[in-house]
Amino acid sequence: MNRKECTENTCTEQIQKIFHTAEVEVQREKRVKVKLRADLILPFLAYAKDYMNFKHLAHFSCVDWIEDNEFELVFMLWSYEANLMIMVKTRIDRSNPEFETLSHLWPQAETYEREMHEMFGVNFEGNNRLGEFILEDWEGIPPFRRDFNTIKYSQENFYQRPGREDAQNVRETVSKHSGKEVPDFAKEYSIRRIEE
């Protein structure tokens, strides 16, 4: 239908004409931000792809807003004709994250979904390759959620070589020791060789 070149403003108008509930905002030059209800996302993406020529799914991401108990899904679509990007955002429930797959629109979305399923625990209905992707034999909560403590996990599971904790707070150490004298820990570790 409307295949003429669209700018930020015409694009905004067009989206608002079709999707009344969408909150559209021009973030900056070449970036249009669209906020939508979760169930309208798929129709919107399909519309943007087929009728507004946003052919390129540049990015698909998930942000954990643990304070609001919500996940934010972010889709970036790029139009090669208009050189314009729309950023589509929606929020889904964090305790029971469900969404529909995009892989029939863009085959590469499957990869993003597999990663998001593994890292955030979002379930994408219709994607049959969900499962082990990057991690192996992972038990427990998905690691990219904000409430997963990676330091604690690392300390519990992996051997920590002594000496590490000295250098941990680099800021304090650096500000404490001026450039003149060599700090004690540096002396110690420059002499000691790693053996065993």
Partner 1 sequence: MREKETTLYLGPQHPGITGNIMVKLKVAGDTVVKAETHVGYLHRAFEKLMEQRTWIQCFPIVCRICVPEPDPNEENLARAIEEIEVREVPERAKYIRVMVLELARLATYGLWMGGQSGSMGLYTMPQWTVGDRDYIIDLFEELTGGRIYHMYIWAGGVRRDLPEGFTDRVLKVLDYLESRLPDYDNLLFNNAMFRKRAEGVGIIPKDKALEWGVVGPPLRGCGIKHDVRIDEPYEIYDKLDFEIPTAEGCDVWSRALVRRQEYEQSISIIRQVIDKMPGGDYYNKIPNPLTWKVPPGEAYVKTESARGEFGYYAVSDGSDKPRRIHVRGPAYVHGVSLLEKILVGANVADVSFIMNSLGTCPPEIER
Partner 2 sequence: MTYDKNSKKIVDIIQSFARKHSLWILGYGTGCGAIEIPPTMTSRYDGERFGLRGAATPRQADVLLITGYLATKTLKRVIRSYEQMQSPKYVIGFGSCTINGGMYWDSYNTINALDQYLPVDVFINGCMPRPESVISGFIELQKLIAEGRADGAEKYQKNLEWYRENQKKVIHNWKMPDYNW
> Residues in the site for partner 2, rule: CB under 8 A?
135-137, 139, 143, 148, 150-151, 153-154, 157-161, 163-164, 194, 196
> Cα separation of 185 and 145, whole Å?
35
Q: CB-wise, 40 or 76, nearer to partner 1?
A: 76
Contact flag: residue 141 with partner 1 (CB under 8 A): no
Angle at 24 between CA 19 and CA 27, to 5 degrees: 155
Q: Which does 160 bind (CB under 5 to 8 A by kind): partner 2, partner 1, none?
A: partner 2
> Cα separation of 25 and 71, whole Å?
21
Contact flag: residue 91 with partner 1 (CB under 8 A): no
Q: CB-wise, 96 or 159, nearer to partner 2?
A: 159
Contact flag: residue 64 with partner 1 (CB under 8 A): yes
Q: CB-wise, 20 or 164, nearer to partner 2?
A: 164
Q: How many residues does the chain have?
A: 196
Q: How far is the CB of 194 from partner 2 (least distance, A)?
A: 6
Q: Which does 139 bind (CB under 5 to 8 A by kind): partner 2, partner 1, none?
A: partner 2
Q: CB-wise, 132 or 188, nearer to partner 1?
A: 132
* Helix, strand, or coil (residue 166): helix
> Cα separation of 44 and 182, whole Å?
62
* Strand 70-79 versus strand 56-65 pairing type: antiparallel
> Cα separation of 108 and 133, whole Å?
14
Question: Contact at 8 Å (CB) between 87 and 78?
Answer: no
> Cα separation of 15 and 9, whole Å?
10
Q: Which residues are near partner 1 by CB under 8 A?
A: 28, 30-31, 55-59, 61-64, 74, 76, 80, 83, 85, 87, 106-108, 110-111, 133-136, 143-144, 146, 148, 150-151, 171, 175
